[in-house]
Amino acid sequence: MAQFPLADRLAALPPYLFAEIDRVKQEVKARGVDIISLGIGDPDMPTPDFIIEALHAAAKKPINHQYPSYRGLLGFRQAVAAWYKVRFGVDLSPEKEVVSLIGSKEGIAHFPLAFINPGDLALVCTPNYPVYNVAVGFCGGTVKYLPLTSDNNFLPDLDAVDNDTWKKAKLLFINYPNNPTSATADRAFYERVVEKAREFNVIVLHDAAYTEVYFNPAKKPMSILEIPGAKDVAIEFHSLSKTYNMTGWRIGMAVGNETLVNGLGKIKENVDSGIFQAVQEAGIAALQQGEPYAEKFRAIYRERRDVMLQALDKAGIGYRKSDASFYVWCNVPKGYTSAEFCTNVLQKTGVVVTPGNGFGAPGEGYFRISLTVDMPLLEEAVSRIIKL
Ligand code: MLT
């Protein structure tokens, strides 16, 4: 029998967090346990009808059945630029500063291929979306983790990184509103990031997937591109997934510095052939007409968050009160590790929550709840957790 050992880069990896959660969930489900999953940030509400109707109309056009354009329909990129102007006051050239993505995960995973050589250093704020460090590892790069802790309000302490490390670093990953901690960043933080990155010639990759899930309209999450000079160093990744309940559609965008956008575009020309144009036309509709729906979804997540926080209070479980994202970052009760606690909750209640250490070492002692089930299910999950 032939032997096909995995390449070292893959053999060295732990199982992908969300695939592993899904595997365990299926295993427990097969034992007849009634599962409620608060484990993955996959919006439960349907994609709004007007987006589905736009897809339907676009899918009927034969022109959309051919290979799409590599970097995205110009109309999609124009819609992205127009949305950025309205939402953030940021001007973008649709031709040069926007590229379409098959979901922001794909773009983030491919981006380091364009700029990271073996041995290059990337700075990753952690706990983090696991794709950041994996993508750097796939390029043979090394990672220095910048811990996000409650002491620093889950923002990296950029001044604690010494100048030699800044000089070596090629790429810094940041992500606000943050997954998994739900922390948000203010203008002063982004200004500091841009200042450091310009001083040391470091690329900033801002994962901004959750900017539209916010609960305080007076403090809307920012784009890093709002900061003067950010376009010298930054590329921002966005997605239609969380804003318009389109996770399965696989559509997102990267915007910002022309050289960075172009580098990613070149990688993508070599590895994929773009997004089905009908999906892009639906994406245009979402970006142009989706705001009232995004507003409605925010109100629903806010209500869910409040129900969950009350339940956590009753259960005596500590948490970080979030202003944005649909995650609640909670303290694991004393006497458990993150993994022990989440396994216990799953086995005894059928409720899936995510162990904080799955996002990196500083996540130990925490677990993450995703508010992506409807109210009756959420209330059921809450009552099971309180009983436990
Ligand atoms: C999460 O649960 O962290 C997200 O759903 C992962 C993702 O967006 O791929």
pLDDT tens-digit map of 345-363: 998 999 999 999 999 999 9
3-state secondary structure of 228: coil
Q: Which pLDDT value is given to residue 25?
A: 87
Does the C-beta of 82 come closer than 6 Å to ligand 1? Answer: no
Q: Cα of 129 to ligand 1 centre, how many Å?
A: 7
pLDDT grade, residue 12 (50/70/90)?
confident
Residues of the chain above pLDDT 70, percent:
100
Predicted ipTM?
0.92
Q: Cα of 91 to ligand 1 centre, how many Å?
A: 28
Q: How many CB atoms lie within 10 A of CB 142?
A: 14
Residues 6+ apart with CB under 8 A from 21: 39, 40, 352, 354, 358
Helix axes 104-115, 131-138, angle to 10 degrees: 30
Q: Cα of 40 to ligand 1 centre, how many Å?
A: 6
For CA atoms 128, 131, 133, 134, give the dihedral sign. Answer: positive
- Nearest atom (ligand 1) to Cα of 40: 2
Q: Which pLDDT value is given to residue 352?
A: 95
Q: Cα of 192 to ligand 1 centre, how many Å?
A: 27
Residues 6+ apart with CB under 8 A from 123: 143, 144, 145, 146, 156, 161, 165, 169, 171, 172, 173, 202
Q: Which residue's CA lies nearest to atom 5 of ligand 1? A: 41
Does the C-beta of 40 come closer than 6 Å to ligand 1? Answer: yes
Q: Cα of 17 to ligand 1 centre, how many Å?
A: 10
Q: Is pTM, for the whole model, over 0.80?
A: yes
CA distance 105 to 162: 30
Does the C-beta of 179 come closer than 6 Å to ligand 1? Answer: yes
Does the C-beta of 161 come closer than 6 Å to ligand 1? Answer: no
Q: How many CB atoms lie within 10 A of CB 130?
A: 18
Q: Cα of 2 to ligand 1 centre, how many Å?
A: 36
Q: Cα of 198 to ligand 1 centre, how many Å?
A: 30
Q: Which pLDDT value is given to residue 318?
A: 96
Does the C-beta of 77 come closer than 6 Å to ligand 1? Answer: no
Q: Cα of 187 to ligand 1 centre, how many Å?
A: 25
Residues of the chain above pLDDT 90, percent:
91
Q: Which residue's CA lies nearest to atom 7 of ligand 1? A: 41
Q: Output the average pLDDT for the chain.
A: 96
81-125 tens-digit pLDDT: 999 999 999 999 999 999 999 999 999 999 999 999 999 999 999
Q: Which residue's CA lies nearest to atom 8 of ligand 1? A: 41
Q: Which of 17, 18, 128 to mutate to test the pocket of ligand 1 (most atoms within 8 A of CB)?
A: 18
**Token representation of residue 110:** 């491919």
Does the C-beta of 41 come closer than 6 Å to ligand 1? Answer: yes
pLDDT grade, residue 15 (50/70/90)?
confident
Q: Which residue's CA lies nearest to atom 6 of ligand 1? A: 41
Does the C-beta of 42 come closer than 6 Å to ligand 1? Answer: yes
CA distance 341 to 353: 9
- Nearest atom (ligand 1) to Cα of 354: 2
Q: Cα of 232 to ligand 1 centre, how many Å?
A: 29
Q: Which pLDDT value is given to residue 254?
A: 98
Full set of structural domains in the chain with CATH: 8-46+292-387 (3.90.1150.10), 49-290 (3.40.640.10)
